[in-house]
Amino acid sequence: MTAAIETSALTRRFGSFTAVNQIDLAVPQQSIYGLLGPNGAGKSTTIKMLTTLLQPSSGTAQVAGFDIVRAPVEVRRRIGYVPQMLSADGALTAIENLTLSARLYGMSAAERKTRIAEALDFSGLAEVCHKLVKTYSGGMIRRLELAQAMLHHPAILFLDEPTIGLDPVARRTVWERLQALRRDFGMTILLTTHDMEEADVLCDTLAILHQGTIGVTGSPLELKASVGPEATLDDVFVAFSGGTIQESGSYREVRQARTTMQRLG
């Protein structure tokens, strides 16, 4: 079986700065693949290239069987994306957000109806679907965003820090939803995270990115074993990224929390 995502020397420069440097990734079909790495490692930049939002400076990538530069529209038809920021529109209701997505994916009225019902069911937001999204909790917004991203049953889902800023319960709910998407629809999921527990519990394969290059890839078990018999993923992270998790998490969380506040306010 061919890989869902395959990159070859994928590179992105901003001016003279290389944010993503010649990375080779192969993400197996129907896997949950985690991109880890300290702030500024190039995780979001990689996802933006794979979702066709950003042109690579050099290198190539195939996503769902199509080249991201030569056939971006074909790629877009087959992917869903939840950005690092909160991307549901707070001035609209859940239904209106979902309807917008459904229309942009060219669904007929009948199809829209069933898919939106399915998505509301999936996200557990049916009861509040006529309320403005700005009145939702962070967890509800994330679930709505997931619902929006899965509405058209994409082959591949890209999630940039899907559980950042969520409480433990909301976080687990997101994990369950993601596992359900893989189980029920055979979706491949590529996510970034700073949460080692998330990486450990949810992901089949991890790649640790550091200054734009991939330090190591492997299953959580393999990676831990490679560092030492008692090693945790935290140790793996430190070993391959030369940073510490404590340092990296904080500012990001502050920023994210602020975005959430603005969003809700």
Partner 1 sequence: MTMMRFLMESAAVSMAELHKIARDPTEMFSRAIQPVLWLVIFGQVFSRVRDIPTGDVTYLAFMTPGILAQSVLFSAIFYGIAVIWERDLGIVQKLLVSPAHRSALVLGKALSAGLRGLVQAVIVYLVAWLLDIHLRWEIIPILEVLLAVILGSCIFSTFSLIIACIVKTRERFMGIGQVLTMPLFFASNAIYPLEMMPDWLKLVARLNPLSYLVDALRGAMILGGHSTHGLFLDFGIMVAVFLLMLVVAAKLYPGLAR
Ligand X SMILES: Nc1ncnc2c1ncn2[C@@H]1O[C@H](COP(=O)(O)OP(=O)(O)OP(=O)(O)O)[C@@H](O)[C@H]1O
Positions that interact with partner 1 (CB under 8 A): 48, 51-54, 73, 76-77, 79-81, 83-93, 96, 99-101, 103-106, 148, 259, 263
End-to-end Cα distance, the chain: 47
Q: Which two tokens stand for residue 260?
A: 């959430």
Q: Which stretch binds ligand X (CB under 6 A): 41-49, 60-68, 96-104, 147-155?
A: 41-49
> In the bound complex, what is the minimum distance in angstroms from residue 69's beta carbon to ligand X?
18
What is residue 135's DSSP assignment?
G
Q: Is 13 in the site for ligand X (CB under 6 A)?
A: no
The entry of partner 1, ligand X, Mg ion, none near residue 42 (CB within 5 to 8 angstroms by kind) is ligand X
Compute the Cα dihedral for 208, 214, 220, 224 and give only its sign.
Answer: negative
Nearer to ligand X, 57 or 179 (CB): 57
Please, are residues 63 and 48 in contact by the beta-carbon 8 Å criterion?
A: no
Binding site for Mg ion (CB under 5 A): 43-44, 84
Q: Is 45 in the site for ligand X (CB under 6 A)?
A: yes
> In the bound complex, what is the minimum distance in angstroms from residue 40's beta carbon to ligand X?
4
Nearer to partner 1, 84 or 188 (CB): 84
Cα–Cα distance measured from residue 154 to residue 102, given in angstroms and rounded to the nearest whole number: 12
Cα–Cα distance measured from residue 148 to residue 192, given in angstroms and rounded to the nearest whole number: 19
Q: Which stretch binds ligand X (CB under 6 A): 35-43, 63-71, 145-153, 171-179?
A: 35-43
Nearer to partner 1, 58 or 219 (CB): 58
> In the bound complex, what is the minimum distance in angstroms from residue 37's beta carbon to Mg ion?
9
Q: Is 37 in the site for ligand X (CB under 6 A)?
A: yes
| Type of residue found at 56 | P
Nearer to partner 1, 82 or 208 (CB): 82
Nearer to partner 1, 147 or 223 (CB): 147
Q: Length of the chain, please? A: 265
Q: Which two tokens stand for residue 173?
A: 């709910």
Cα–Cα distance measured from residue 113 to residue 98, given in angstroms and rounded to the nearest whole number: 10
Find, among 174, 196, 163, 171, the residue nearest to 37 by Cα. 196
Nearer to partner 1, 104 or 254 (CB): 104
The entry of partner 1, Mg ion, ligand X, none near residue 218 (CB within 5 to 8 angstroms by kind) is none
Residue appearing with tokens 């490679």: 226
What is residue 53's DSSP assignment?
S
Find, among 170, 172, 196, the residue nearest to 248 by Cα. 196
State the residues that interact with ligand X by CB under 6 A.
Answer: 14, 19, 37, 39-45, 84, 252
